[in-house]
Structure 1
Amino acid sequence: MTTEASIESNVNTHSRPSDLRITDLRICSLRGLPMDASLIRIDTNQGISGYGEVRDWASPTFALMLKSRLVGENPCNIDKIFRKIKQFGFHARQAGGVCGVEMALFDLAGKAYGVPAYQLLGGKFRDRVLCYCDTDSMMDGTEMGHRLKRRMERGFQFLKMDIGIGLLKDVPNAVIAPPSMLDTQSIMHPFTGIQITDIGIEYLVEYVRQVREIIGYEVPLAADHFGHINLESCIRLGRALDSFTLAWYEDMIPWQFTNQFVRLANSVTTPICTGEDIYLKEGFKPLLESRGVSVIHPDLATSGGLMETKKIGDLAQEHGVAMAMHFAGSPISFLANIHCAAATENFFVLENHSVDLPWWDDLVDGIEKPFIKDGYAIVPEAPGLGFEDVNEEALRQCMDERCQWGYFGPTDAWDNERSHDRLWS
């Protein structure tokens, strides 16, 4: 006699999504990705787990404090849970916990229903995602050009480099600064009093010219890390570099100063880009509505996770603005970015900081490797974020031994952390 139980034993039901409940949240902190990050694992009553990532250089405490708000919830209710916890995120690294949890919820929900994460976002616009690799600076422009050329020879069809006062350390009279201001990174650009001189601008123009002589104009080349110089210096430098048709000027000034972005955008002919430190779509609205940017550059591990970042992309599209994506973490966050990029129509390129780490792909198993081929990443079709499991041996080799939880060890101390979370009286 055939029983219901025997029939189900031969059928892959994935799980019973309506009965799925979160039972635990655990942490594994990593070093050398090249930036420190923490992975989170959310466990359930049906034996499936979902993985997310607290953004590079963010404290895992931002995720641990959410544990007591998550246990008992159905992880398939992604939007409900996100609305519950989003008050505990903020700009830059303070959003790391909320975003890491949201990634893990998409991984869990996808596994529960047997569909890839992009499908939960409404489907995909593309089967592969264009990637660019940020490239550490060389002090000589010709050497930097050859370094970028080697990227092209590996198949990358979009490049980025740094152009800024860091290249002017040994150039006399290139920068003017009040005492000690060049030695600190803790003061926002408009308040440093640092200015770049004509000598400095001419030096950087020659530097970029040397790079262009090597790589030509075959592929887009974006620019970042100009230094904490004031708006007027940004405008003068930007105008001098406009002739090289760079893909964008990134984070020339802090994203909070909308009016300064408008002045900058109206003063140069190269696209203006920012966004890696902005949390939620509301943070992008002033820049988009004022026409202060031509490209937004959210980091999914700060902007709110997969669903919120897609909403940010859609908002930008309404204003005629393209979306690139900032990323500097592990393959888990990378795959979350891939699904979001696939599901967002106005997306065009995703960053990766780890193309020079031969072991980076090994941190997860059960997915086609290498992740990036000829400058593109294939959108995975497996459930959730698209990988089968993490690679314990590989993770342990780069695990932060200072982390008190070890390899996804117990986090019982956070089981009962409570506060009166309501935002109204």
Structure 2
Amino acid sequence: MKTPSQKFLERLGLKDPVMSETSAPQGNGNDRRDFLKKVGAGGLMLGGFMFSPIEDTLAQATSKVNKLSSPTDLKITDMRFAVVMNGHARCPIIRIDTNQGISGYGEVRDGASWRYAMFLKSRIMGMNPCSVELLFKRIKQFGFHGRQGGGVCGVEMALWDLAGKAYNVPAYQLLGGRYRDKVRLYADTPEGENEADFAQKVNVRMVEQGFTFMKMDFGIELLKGIPGTTVNSNYWDIGRQWSNEAMTYGGTEHPFTQVQITDKGLELMTQRIAFVREKIGYEIPLASDHYGHFDHNNAIRLGRAVEKYRLAWLEDLIPWKFTDQWRQITEAIETPTLTGEDIYLKEEFIKLIDARAIDLVHPDLATSGGLLETKKIGDYAEERGVAMAMHFAGTPISFMANVHCAAATQNFVALEHHSVDVDYWNSLVKTKKPMIEKGYALVPDSPGLGIELNEEVVKKHLDPEYPAYFAPSTDWDKDRSWDRLWS
């Protein structure tokens, strides 16, 4: 019959040294000596072990066990930022720290200000980062469309990274599990100095880098200075669609420029598409973007002119908010239509989907609301027969957030990779397995987002205007306003 002490040792998964010696005929006493030696080395002799309080006994017995954090007791203690240059784009990274020594990383959308995120610090301090949706609902009022959503989304990314690390599972597992173990990527067609140079670079994209999905730009800025190709270009500088000053062509929404494309202009634009199609073939999906600022009638003309090239989609022909005009475009052409990279939260996507205004949704996770909100967008679209591609142009932190969301969303088509030619991009983070392999992102099995910063490389590529690396941010600790939206 076993004694109470023997039963207690069994519950701890330990052998009684006396029983081991008497019940094993071949034993020579080594079990007993080893047991006493191990216990003694830990600072607790056998007699003390037997009669110590249960808390001390369990602590000693499990002192060598690899314990995870205690998720229910996890608290946010700090949030800091560093601004990384991703090629020419400024990408703020945030780090949320906790009382248990684990940190989570997120990213404010490329080109946005770190202030969008740091403004939220006082709203989340002291809270449990594993309550991701609770915290998201607390801060989502402080985001908006375009880059203004970047702060909320960056915090949400970091919360999923923390929650995954706390529970020791990948972020996609917390979203419901994965549909795929690799995520298809699409990349821009490269620039070339001439036809031969372009052909060589495209070959690198498809053969060496392994991309199976491409996207190209062809806009009316190609027509600048060519007589007879556009109407009203004597007033607007159609070569400057990226300006944002008031009352400039780039800063004026498409319906209000009254720019029109002539037949000659359409012919020159389609020649560019034909050239790219010839080089990559028809087996490769070819999407398109950045056409310039003109109204939905000219968008329909353009859409009809390119139908024979079987493009994967026409992206952001007009601003996303003009739902009725999008529906008119979509109904008038065969080529799929797509928009959404500047939409914040699911509600505006729902309007477009319900109106059958577009053929694919195209959220940028760093604007649309983060991982869970973007999955909700994809799930809603799926129920109504609409596919989801994903826009992305940041560092590996936001990239991996997209990968987890894409892995967990069934109607996903492809994720943009906009930094293929940034030579240090992959080395900004450390991962257990490669992030990208032959045109696909490999879905990680590591906890959280599955990445850690490579501090040495990140420090070499900080924004010269903000060279500090996660400096203290106590100025953002105090909540100075009453934010509730109801009485």
With normalisation by structure 1, the TM-score equals 0.96
What SS does the corresponding residue of 2:332 show, helix, strand or coil?
coil
Residue of structure 2 aligned with 1:397, choices 442, 447, 460: 460
What SS does the corresponding residue of 2:89 show, helix, strand or coil?
coil
Residue of structure 1 aligned with 2:474, choices 404, 412, 421: 412
Report the CA distance between 1:75 and its aligned residue: 0.2
1:381 is matched with 445
1:72 is matched with 126
Report the CA distance between 1:137 and its aligned residue: 4.7
Q: Which amino acid aligns with 2:458?
A: L
1:347 is matched with 412
Q: Does 1:13 align with 2:78?
A: no
Q: Does 1:158 align with 2:221?
A: no
Q: Does 1:205 align with 2:270?
A: yes
Report the CA distance between 1:145 and its aligned residue: 5.3
Q: Does 1:55 align with 2:115?
A: no
Residues 32-181 of structure 1: matches in 2 within 5 Å?
32-137=86-191, 144=198, 146-153=200-207, 154-177=209-232, 179-181=235-237
Q: Which amino acid aligns with 2:438?
A: D
Preserved contact between residue 86 and residue 394 of structure 2 (Cα < 8 Å): no
Report the CA distance between 1:299 and its aligned residue: 0.3
Please provide the CA RMSD for this pair: 1.6
Residue of structure 2 aligned with 1:233, choices 295, 298, 322: 298
Report the CA distance between 1:140 and its aligned residue: 6.5
What SS does the corresponding residue of 2:414 show, helix, strand or coil?
strand
> Does 113-122 or 415-424 show the bigger shift?
415-424
1:310-354: CA deviation from partner (whole Å, max 9, x where unpaired): 000001111110000000000000000000000000001000111
Report the CA distance between 1:171 and its aligned residue: 2.6
Residue of structure 1 aligned with 2:348, choices 283, 296, 302: 283
Judging changes above 3 Å, is the alpha-carbon distance between structure 1 residues 177 and 139 closer, same or farther for their aligned structure 2 residues?
farther
Q: Which amino acid aligns with 1:357?
A: V
What SS does the corresponding residue of 1:382 show, helix, strand or coil?
coil
Judging changes above 3 Å, is the alpha-carbon distance between structure 1 residues 65 and 124 closer, same or farther for their aligned structure 2 residues?
same
> Does 172-181 or 298-307 show the bigger shift?
172-181
Report the CA distance between 1:134 and its aligned residue: 2.1
> Does 353-362 or 128-137 show the bigger shift?
128-137
What SS does the corresponding residue of 2:86 show, helix, strand or coil?
coil
Report the CA distance between 1:34 and its aligned residue: 4.1
1:392-424: CA deviation from partner (whole Å, max 9, x where unpaired): 1100111012127x1000011111132111111
1:358 is matched with 423
Report the CA distance between 1:365 and its aligned residue: 1.2
Distance 1:264 1:142 in 2: 36
What SS does the corresponding residue of 1:36 show, helix, strand or coil?
strand
2:401 is matched with 336
Which structure is larger by alpha-carbon Rg, 1 or 2?
2
Judging changes above 3 Å, is the alpha-carbon distance between structure 1 residues 230 and 144 closer, same or farther for their aligned structure 2 residues?
farther
Judging changes above 3 Å, is the alpha-carbon distance between structure 1 residues 198 and 139 closer, same or farther for their aligned structure 2 residues?
farther
Distance 2:299 2:167 in 1: 50
Preserved contact between residue 33 and residue 329 of structure 1 (Cα < 8 Å): no
Q: Which amino acid aligns with 1:163?
A: F
Report the CA distance between 1:135 and its aligned residue: 3.3
Preserved contact between residue 184 and residue 440 of structure 2 (Cα < 8 Å): yes
Q: Does 1:244 align with 2:309?
A: yes
Q: Which amino acid aligns with 2:447?
A: P
What SS does the corresponding residue of 2:389 show, helix, strand or coil?
strand
The alignment of Structure 1 onto Structure 2 pairs a total of residues equal to 422
1:201-260: CA deviation from partner (whole Å, max 9, x where unpaired): 011112111211211112100000011111111111110001100000000000000001
Q: Which amino acid aligns with 1:247?
A: A
Preserved contact between residue 83 and residue 462 of structure 2 (Cα < 8 Å): yes
Q: Which amino acid aligns with 2:323?
A: T
Preserved contact between residue 34 and residue 354 of structure 1 (Cα < 8 Å): no
Q: Which amino acid aligns with 1:135?
A: T
Report the CA distance between 1:144 and its aligned residue: 4.7
Report the CA distance between 1:3 and its aligned residue: 2.5
Report the CA distance between 1:30 and its aligned residue: 1.2
Preserved contact between residue 137 and residue 162 of structure 1 (Cα < 8 Å): no
2:334 is matched with 269
Preserved contact between residue 62 and residue 96 of structure 1 (Cα < 8 Å): yes
1:372-411: CA deviation from partner (whole Å, max 9, x where unpaired): 2111111000000012x2111100111012127x100001
Report the CA distance between 1:356 and its aligned residue: 1.1
Q: Does 1:322 align with 2:381?
A: no
What SS does the corresponding residue of 2:81 show, helix, strand or coil?
strand
Q: Using CA pairs below 8 Å that are at least 6 residues apart, which structure has the higher relative contact order?
A: 1
Judging changes above 3 Å, is the alpha-carbon distance between structure 1 residues 28 and 274 closer, same or farther for their aligned structure 2 residues?
same
Preserved contact between residue 146 and residue 214 of structure 1 (Cα < 8 Å): no
With normalisation by structure 2, the TM-score equals 0.84
What SS does the corresponding residue of 1:266 show, helix, strand or coil?
helix
What SS does the corresponding residue of 1:74 show, helix, strand or coil?
coil
Preserved contact between residue 146 and residue 342 of structure 2 (Cα < 8 Å): yes
Q: Which amino acid aligns with 2:298?
A: S
What SS does the corresponding residue of 1:98 show, helix, strand or coil?
helix
Preserved contact between residue 86 and residue 422 of structure 2 (Cα < 8 Å): no
Report the CA distance between 1:108 and its aligned residue: 0.2
Report the CA distance between 1:177 and its aligned residue: 2.0
Identity %: 55
- Segments of structure 2 that go 5 or more residues without pairing to the other structure are 1-48, 50-55, 241-248
Distance 1:338 1:421 in 2: 33
Distance 1:363 1:7 in 2: 40
Preserved contact between residue 75 and residue 98 of structure 2 (Cα < 8 Å): yes
